[in-house]
């Protein structure tokens, strides 16, 4: 009603065709026929202060499952509703791209699998997914065990010396060592390497062994995280790149990583050329089971730039995420001794002193539930980013193309509408004999690995990795918050970090007696040698 409709009826009376009038006045009708997305007001100052998804949760409680957040000329749609998340991620995923995420990460991931869209993504996903086959994952379990064992030895020394340990950085080293081996058979050896200051890169020409120190990787990671929360993209200003010491450092680190990856690719190519192994579905080189080796042996026809982009993408995807999961799991456990005791009991009875095997993955049920629950409370990343490529409808609301959208996994995972006692760390909410919770059986209220075609391809890898590390660590040690440790607060990057680390006191557990299992031929073992 109002002026537009008076004008419309007036024009109709003077003979303008109704079809044309409907078209001309559709803009005026729209707000009447369609509900408008609620707009969150006065949020900007709040957003700058803390981990940015915390105020988004407060606004969700006020404005509901979809609302608009405006910063000057820019606005974002904040989605915290399972049905809308499902629509964007699965039902109409073709209509969405990675948007600002791709723009922010371009400098480090290029057109790697996470930022890539369209045809490049399709081709690369099809090439890479087969590399994570059953036999590969089985081999990786040994790798998880060996790397965790190195961490155990470090903790053992700390326990002897009565020194507190900062677990967040140790977990970061653990998962870096693992992902380097898993992706391109490269040993960062960051757990045994403590220096971590001086040279970023050391090339030993006569051996042709490039040694990349984790420093370069960290420089780039920090930069990616800072860029994702920076209000102004300073790094896009040409001169800034050359004069800012920090941007120069980033550029050097990137060059270094590229050279190193090129060298690793070249070494791997030579290995593939020399080996006799026939390529098949579950192809794996025992000496080098890495994903890179699989890709090269499969005859993956791809530029070395794209291959580098994909490796770098997976290095980042698989490193910080798993480290953050372990960090927050141990933080949660420090407040729930009952859960810890149950976890230790399971590790004792399933593993004893052994390294975990693939068969144990089915048996370490409680450890798996602890990880499931940790991922509910601390999803990594806490927010998924998308941009609409065409007009669409989200719930009741029509939206235009080019909308930037945040799917708030944090909100979904902590919604009082979705969960009983939403903030409580309660692994028991997932029955041991039930299915492993995932986005499908939880109907998109639980999205630890995303969903739809862009779902994480490392989900099984990451679950086994964290279950192995968790079980082996709690089997050997007790963990407590260190006396006088800084309060554990969250800060945001791509994943959720602590502001000042996770300082813990680690003590050796007194080994419980290993109860003989049925398979053990007890009477033969007991019989003293030489006695008739």
Q: Which of 321, 308, 452 is nearest to 375 (CA)?
A: 321
Range in contact with ligand HEM (rule: CB under 6 A) among 199-207, 341-349, 452-460, 506-514: 452-460
Instruction: State the nearest-atom distance from the C-beta of 173 to ligand HEM, in Å.
Output: 15
* Interaction mask 369-388, ligand HEM, x per CB under 6 A: -----------x---x----
Strands 477-481 and 490-492: unpaired
* Residue 248 CB partners (closer than 8 Å, separation 6+): 241, 242
Give 450's strand partners. Answer: 448
Size of the site for ligand HEM (CB under 6 A): 21
Residue 501 is encoded by which pair of tokens? Answer: 């680390």
Residue where the block lists tokens 């790397």: 147
Give 201's strand partners. Answer: 212
Residue nearest to ligand HEM (CB): 458
Of 210 and 450, the one with the shorter C-beta distance to ligand HEM is 450
Give CA–CA dist 348/131, Å, rounded.
Answer: 33
Is 190 an interacting residue with respect to ligand HEM (CB under 6 A)? no
Distance from the Cα of residue 226 to its chain's centroid:
17
Q: DSSP 3-state assignment of 437?
A: coil
Give backbone dihedrals phi and psi of 409, rounded to 5 degrees, phi first: -65, -35
Instruction: State the nearest-atom distance from the C-beta of 450 to ligand HEM, in Å.
Output: 3
Strands 74-79 and 404-408: parallel
Instruction: State the nearest-atom distance from the C-beta of 456 to ligand HEM, in Å.
Output: 3
Of 314 and 482, the one with the shorter C-beta distance to ligand HEM is 314
Of 159 and 182, the one with the shorter C-beta distance to ligand HEM is 182
Among 358, 457, 460, 485, interactor with ligand HEM by CB under 6 A: 457
Is 314 an interacting residue with respect to ligand HEM (CB under 6 A)? yes
Range in contact with ligand HEM (rule: CB under 6 A) among 142-150, 414-422, 430-438, 455-463: 455-463
Give CA–CA dist 110/304, Å, rounded.
Answer: 12
Query: Helices 100-109 and 245-274 sit at what angle, rounded to 10 degrees?
Result: 70
Range in contact with ligand HEM (rule: CB under 6 A) among 15-23, 277-285, 311-319, 388-396: 311-319
The helix (run of H) or strand (run of E) holding residue 47 is: helix 44-49
Q: Which of 43, 494, 481 is nearest to 226 (CA)?
A: 494
Q: Which of 12, 304, 287, 6 is nearest to 295 (CA)?
A: 304
Give CA–CA dist 505/306, Å, rounded.
Answer: 44
* Interaction mask 83-122, ligand HEM, x per CB under 6 A: ------------------------------xx--------
Residues 339 and 333 sit within 8 Å (Cβ to Cβ): yes
Is 318 an interacting residue with respect to ligand HEM (CB under 6 A)? yes
Is 180 an interacting residue with respect to ligand HEM (CB under 6 A)? no
Q: DSSP 3-state assignment of 317?
A: helix
* Interaction mask 405-444, ligand HEM, x per CB under 6 A: ----------------------------------------
Range in contact with ligand HEM (rule: CB under 6 A) among 103-111, 218-226, 419-427, 453-461: 453-461
Among 97, 111, 306, 322, interactor with ligand HEM by CB under 6 A: 322
Q: For 450, which DSSP code? A: B
Among 123, 229, 456, 490, interactor with ligand HEM by CB under 6 A: 456
Strands (E), 363-462: 383-388, 392-394, 397-399, 404-408
Of 82 and 458, the one with the shorter C-beta distance to ligand HEM is 458
Among 317, 468, 481, 482, interactor with ligand HEM by CB under 6 A: 317
Instruction: State the nearest-atom distance from the C-beta of 49 to ligand HEM, in Å.
Output: 25
Among 87, 454, 476, 503, interactor with ligand HEM by CB under 6 A: 454
Instruction: State the nearest-atom distance from the C-beta of 175 to ligand HEM, in Å.
Output: 8
Of 63 and 406, the one with the shorter C-beta distance to ligand HEM is 406
Is 221 an interacting residue with respect to ligand HEM (CB under 6 A)? no
Q: For 319, which DSSP code? A: H
Residue 118 is encoded by which pair of tokens? Answer: 């369209």
Residues 386 and 407 sit within 8 Å (Cβ to Cβ): yes
Range in contact with ligand HEM (rule: CB under 6 A) among 231-239, 259-267, 320-328, 415-423: 320-328
Interacting residues toward ligand HEM by CB under 6 A:
113-114, 125, 313-314, 317-318, 321-322, 325, 380, 384, 448-450, 454, 456-458, 461-462
């Amino acid at each position: 009603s109002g002026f537009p409709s008076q004008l419309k009826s007036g024009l109709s009376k003077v003979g303008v065709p109704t079809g044309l009038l409907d078209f001309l006045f559709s803009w005026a009708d729209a707000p009447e026929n369609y509900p408008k997305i609620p707009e969150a007001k006065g949020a900007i100052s709040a957003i700058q202060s803390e981990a940015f998804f915390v105020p988004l949760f407060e606004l969700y409680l006020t404005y509901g499952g979809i609302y608009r957040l405006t910063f000057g000329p820019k606005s974002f749609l904040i989605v915290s509703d399972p049905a809308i998340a499902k629509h964007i991620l699965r039902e109409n995923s073709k209509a969405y791209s990675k948007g600002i995420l791709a723009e922010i990460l371009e400098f480090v991931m290029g057109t790697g699998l996470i930022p890539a869209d369209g045809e490049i993504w399709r081709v690369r996903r099809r090439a890479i997914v087969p590399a994570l086959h059953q036999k590969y994952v089985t081999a990786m379990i040994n790798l998880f065990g060996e790397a965790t064992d190195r961490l155990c030895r470090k903790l053992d020394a700390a326990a002897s010396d009565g020194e507190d340990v900062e677990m967040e950085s140790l977990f970061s080293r653990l998962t870096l060592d693992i992902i380097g081996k898993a992706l391109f058979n490269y040993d960062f050896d960051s757990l045994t390497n403590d220096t971590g200051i001086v040279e970023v890169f050391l090339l030993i020409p006569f051996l042709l062994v490039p040694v990349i120190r984790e420093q370069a990787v960290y420089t780039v990671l920090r930069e990616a995280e800072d860029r994702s929360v920076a209000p102004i993209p300073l790094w896009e200003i040409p001169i800034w790149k050359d004069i800012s010491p920090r941007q120069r450092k980033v550029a050097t680190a990137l060059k270094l990583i590229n050279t190193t990856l090129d060298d690793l690719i070249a070494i791997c190519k030579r290995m593939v050329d020399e080996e006799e192994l026939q390529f098949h579905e579950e192809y794996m080189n025992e000496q080098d089971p890495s994903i890179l080796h699989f890709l090269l042996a499969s005859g993956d026809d791809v530029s070395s730039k794209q291959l580098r982009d994909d490796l770098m993408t997976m290095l980042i995807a698989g490193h910080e995420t798993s480290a953050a999961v372990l960090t927050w799991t141990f933080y949660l456990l420090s407040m729930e001794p009952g859960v810890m005791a149950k976890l230790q009991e399971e590790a004792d009875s399933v593993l004893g002193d052994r390294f975990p095997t693939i068969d144990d993955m089915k048996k370490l049920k409680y450890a798996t539930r602890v990880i499931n629950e940790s991922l509910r409370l601390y999803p990594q990343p806490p927010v998924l980013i998308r941009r609409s490529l065409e007009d669409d409808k989200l719930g009741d609301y029509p939206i235009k193309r080019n909308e930037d959208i945040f799917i708030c996994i944090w909100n979904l995972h902590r919604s009082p509408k979705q969960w009983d006692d939403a903030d409580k760390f309660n692994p028991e909410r997932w029955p041991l004999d039930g299915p492993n919770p995932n986005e499908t059986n939880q109907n998109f209220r639980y999205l630890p690995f995303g969903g739809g075609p862009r779902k994480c391809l490392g989900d099984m890898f990451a679950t086994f990795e964290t279950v192995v590390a968790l079980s082996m660590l709690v089997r050997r040690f007790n963990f407590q918050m260190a006396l006088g440790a800084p309060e554990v607060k969250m800060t945001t990057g791509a994943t959720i970090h602590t502001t000042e680390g996770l300082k813990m006191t680690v003590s050796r557990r007194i080994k419980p007696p290993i109860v003989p299992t049925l398979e053990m031929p007890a009477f033969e073992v007991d019989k003293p040698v030489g006695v008739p």
